[in-house]
Amino acid sequence: MLGVDMVLCPSRSAESVVVVVLLAATGFVSLCSSDSGEGIAADSAALCSQLIEPAGYPCSEHTLQTKDGYLLALQRVSSGNRDFWAQRGPPVLLQHGLFMAGDAWFLDSTGQSLGFILADHGFDVWVGNVRGTRWSHGHVSLTEKDKDFWDWSWEDLALYDLAEMIHHISSITSSKVFLVGHSQGTIMSLAALTQPDIAEMVEAAALLCPISYLGHVSAPLVLRMVRMHLDQMVVALGIHQLNFRSEIGVNLLDSVCDGHIECNDLLTSITGKNCCFNNSRVDFYLEYEPQPSSSKNLRHLFQMIRKGSFAKYDYGFFKNMKIYGQLKPPAYDLKRIPQTLPLWMAYGGNDALADMADLQLTLEELQSKPELLYMENYGHADFLVGLKAQEDVYDHMIRFFMSFGKSSSS
């Protein structure tokens, strides 16, 4: 498995390097597609009308502007089984992972997708979409063709995008917000919650595949890409947006799988062995995923893997001095997350990205003792699109939220 793409296809161009980097960076979205087109167009119907309302759930679209000018989409979802005029339950914000968008929470049946399940339990569900993804709406002055549009990493997603979403929801609902994150969404959440003004708006947080430290990532294909410094090669090539929806990206991704490697094995080499992944819905997933991200974001994540640190972006000694006033980027201090903020975390024994050793480092730094759910057979994708995730994981999460006595069952 390790490095099979490069062994079998040594003559690939620079663009193929980008595809391999993307494959290494993400699990769920790095599946194989037989569709040679570009999928659903960026200007197609909004998420509510595309995916949520057809399932029978009332949904409204919201747009908010971050302090650095990005225009983000939020969807607000409630259960179709409840009286329209009934009082809404407590707000919960769903924050997606890398190369995903808010649709990730609604890709399976209404009885299997967390977004629908939370709505059916009476929660006021809000769906986040970070900058650059299909459902968000660009920037007040920049276009996606501008280099500066893609000058961000997960840190900006945490301190601008997620912060603005939480503030908006809290203002609209006059309530503290329950926060749910998966994978990169947990990095964003933990970084954001170190900021007192953000933490005070959050009632509790539930983290699926929690990540802050990445020094023990064990996925062989990811580690190969990190050792080859392919993130730096992408930046050196002047590539700022990483987008699988381009014609080149789709064709090269097809060629990685076709005749060279079995797609499910590829997924395993990136995420760990997923016990309960719904293989029958791969074609449908690929109608919505993957979403764009930035080269800088990928490089920030690879920096964390190399250094084993949970820190700000490393610009190099001289620029670090200019920006941070020190040679090395400052670390995020997880002790700043309030001890009184309830945390719930679910993690898997087969997860090759959110490793248990890295989670232990996180737990040692936190002031509080989070409630933990360990799924021995789960890999990285199982927590989002696993066939049994509702009974194995989501029911536990919902009981955690309901223990605060503020939610109502439908």
Q: Is 380 annotated as catalytic?
A: yes
Please report the pLDDT score of residue 202 as a whole number. 98
Q: Is 183 annotated as catalytic?
A: yes
In percent, the amount of the chain with pLDDT more than 70 equals: 80
Pick the catalytic residue from 108, 161, 231, 351. Answer: 351
* pLDDT tens profile 335-390: 999 999 999 999 999 999 999 999 999 999 999 999 999 999 999 999 999 999 99
Mean pLDDT, all residues of the chain: 84
Please report the pLDDT score of residue 231 as a whole number. 84
Helices 263-271 and 220-227, interaxial angle, to 10°? Answer: 70
* Residue 335 near residue 363 (C-beta atoms within 8 A): no
CA 354 to CA 380: how far, in whole Å? 7
Nearest residue to 48 via CA among 60, 40, 39, 56: 60
Question: Higher model confidence: residue 274 or residue 18?
Answer: 274
Pick the catalytic residue from 380, 382, 392, 407. Answer: 380
Q: Does the pLDDT of residue 305 top 90, yes or no? A: yes
Please report the pLDDT score of residue 350 as a whole number. 93
Which of 6-20, 108-122, 207-221, 280-294 comes out lowest in average pLDDT? 6-20
**pTM score:** 0.86
Which of 171-180, 264-273, 333-342 comes out lowest in average pLDDT? 264-273
Q: Mean pLDDT throughout 8-23?
A: 38
Q: How many CB atoms lie under 10 A from the CB of residue 48? A: 21
Please report the pLDDT score of residue 4 as a whole number. 27
In percent, the amount of the chain with pLDDT more than 90 equals: 67
Please report the pLDDT score of residue 6 as a whole number. 26
- Residue 273, SS3 per DSSP: coil
CA 197 to CA 161: how far, in whole Å? 14
* pLDDT tens profile 154-173: 999 999 999 999 999 999 99
Pick the catalytic residue from 30, 79, 113, 183. Answer: 183
Q: Does the pLDDT of residue 29 top 70, yes or no? A: no
Report the alpha-carbon angle 209-51-291, nearest 5.
50
- Residue 125, SS3 per DSSP: strand
Q: Mean pLDDT throughout 241-247?
A: 72
Q: Is 351 annotated as catalytic?
A: yes
Query: Domains in the chain, ordered, with CATH?
Result: 4-402 (3.40.50.1820)
Can you point out the beta strands (E) in 96-210?
A: 124-128, 177-182, 202-208
Question: Higher model confidence: residue 245 or residue 36?
Answer: 245
CA 312 to CA 15: how far, in whole Å? 28
* pLDDT tens profile 389-406: 999 999 999 999 999 865
Q: Does the pLDDT of residue 271 top 90, yes or no? A: no
* pLDDT tens profile 44-96: 469 999 999 999 999 999 999 999 999 999 999 998 775 555 568 999 999 99
Query: Please, how many CA atoms are within 13 Å of residue 157, restricted to the half-sphere of its CB?
Result: 32
